Structure 1
Amino acid sequence: MQSLYVDGDTRMHKLSPRIKLIVLALLGVILFLTDRISLLALAAVVGSVLYFAVGMSLREALVRLRPVFLVILFVALFSLLFNPLHDAMTTVLRLITLMLFAAMVTATTTISAFIDEITFLAGPLEKIGLVRAADIGLAVGLVVRFVPEIVDRYGAIREAHEARGLKIRLSTTLVPLIILTLRDADSIAAAIDARGIRRH
């Protein structure tokens, strides 16, 4: 499996994963408490600077963002149809800012660090009997780890369609993507159970 982590020695790499996750959570709250275009645009610029300073090439950095940008573009078009321009712009800027900061966090934090921090943060919920902290950490780690795999698999399906001269449709790409993803999920779940991880 691939990883979203980018090996590096930047300040963001050295920053504690706990601090990065807490700041990301607070940022998500703050962004939705303001509708000032200037502040949201400034936050997006700061997010861009931090993300592109992680240590990736420009092409790799843009390729990583492409799937999320397509979703944001769809949301932007939908928002423009049903909302005033100002509201549509604030929505898009919020999403772009969160995307850039989240991408920066995942690029500078290893999967093991993610799992450790999420497990720690879910500890209070485990004490009151709501969840198992280890299961939450494992689930989040697997989701982060699966993202590049799903993106690459979608690209392979598209290339297979193009090689056969088939028109690329959502119905003909989404179904095999879901089937392959679920198959891998079953394999990983079986491996986890075989090692007794969830029983611990």
Structure 2
Amino acid sequence: MLNGLDIEGRTLLHRLPVRGKLVLLFTAAILLFLTSDLRILGPALAAAAVLFLSTGIGLREAFRRVRFVLFTVALVAAANYVFVSPREAAAVLCRLSALVLLAAAVTATTGIPAFMDEVARLLAPFERLGLVRAADVSLAVGLVIRFVPEILARYGEISAAHKARGLPVRPLTLLTPLVILTLKDADTIAMAIDARGFRRH
């Protein structure tokens, strides 16, 4: 298994409490969806990119981490270009890309255990009401974050296998084997979790 997505550093974002990061991310998401003005969304995207790079991550590694999500964002923007308008497509591209980079900056500066602890604390009132089980939800969040680098590694392995066989490497052709391998890993981890009694039956 690979290491998590967090990297060592002493930047302001590294020192900010997890709850503060989540509140800022949630607030930024609301503000970005309240406007379609490119004069605001453009600088917001640039600021998100600067914030992500300021975590100490290299440019190549930064792109490697977000390229799949940005590819999806590009597809959504292309659909808006065809069915709505070029201006709306640009707004969608800037808005969603900024959110992706902000989220990536948060995950790059926060360890998985810290995320899980904070999620459990935030859900504690709902657990007392019997609505959720905070430990289960925090475990799910931790696994999602933990699986991201593993999925990236799987993609690299499948891409290398395609190249070795002389097959064209396209994201869409790699998607099916990637999904199958990911689901197999998920089943294995789910059985291990149940065997250790981490979840209710």
TM-score when normalising by structure 2: 0.92
Deviates further, 15-24 or 62-71: 62-71
* Equivalent residue runs for 1:77-156 within 5 Å: 77-156=78-157
Structure 2: runs of 5 or more not aligned:
none
Q: Which amino acid aligns with 2:93?
A: V
1:189 maps to which residue?
190
Structure 1: runs of 5 or more not aligned:
none
Q: Which amino acid aligns with 1:161?
A: H
Percent identity, please. Answer: 50
1:66 maps to which residue?
67
Q: Which amino acid aligns with 1:48?
A: A
Q: How many residues align?
A: 200
Offset of 1:171 from its aligned partner?
6.9
Q: CA RMSD in A?
A: 1.8
Q: SS of the residue aligned with 1:4?
A: coil
The answer to whether 1:166 aligns with 2:167 is yes
The answer to whether 1:50 aligns with 2:22 is no
In structure 2, what is the Cα distance between the partners aligned to 1:173 and 1:50? 31
2:23 maps to which residue?
22
Q: Which amino acid aligns with 2:68?
A: P
Q: Which amino acid aligns with 2:40?
A: L
- Residue by residue over 1:66-85, the C-alpha shift from the partner in whole angstroms, topping out at 9 and shown as x without a partner, is 11221122112111001122
Deviates further, 140-149 or 184-193: 184-193
Offset of 1:133 from its aligned partner?
1.0
Q: SS of the residue aligned with 1:122?
A: helix
**4+ residue segments displaced more than 3 Å:** 167-172
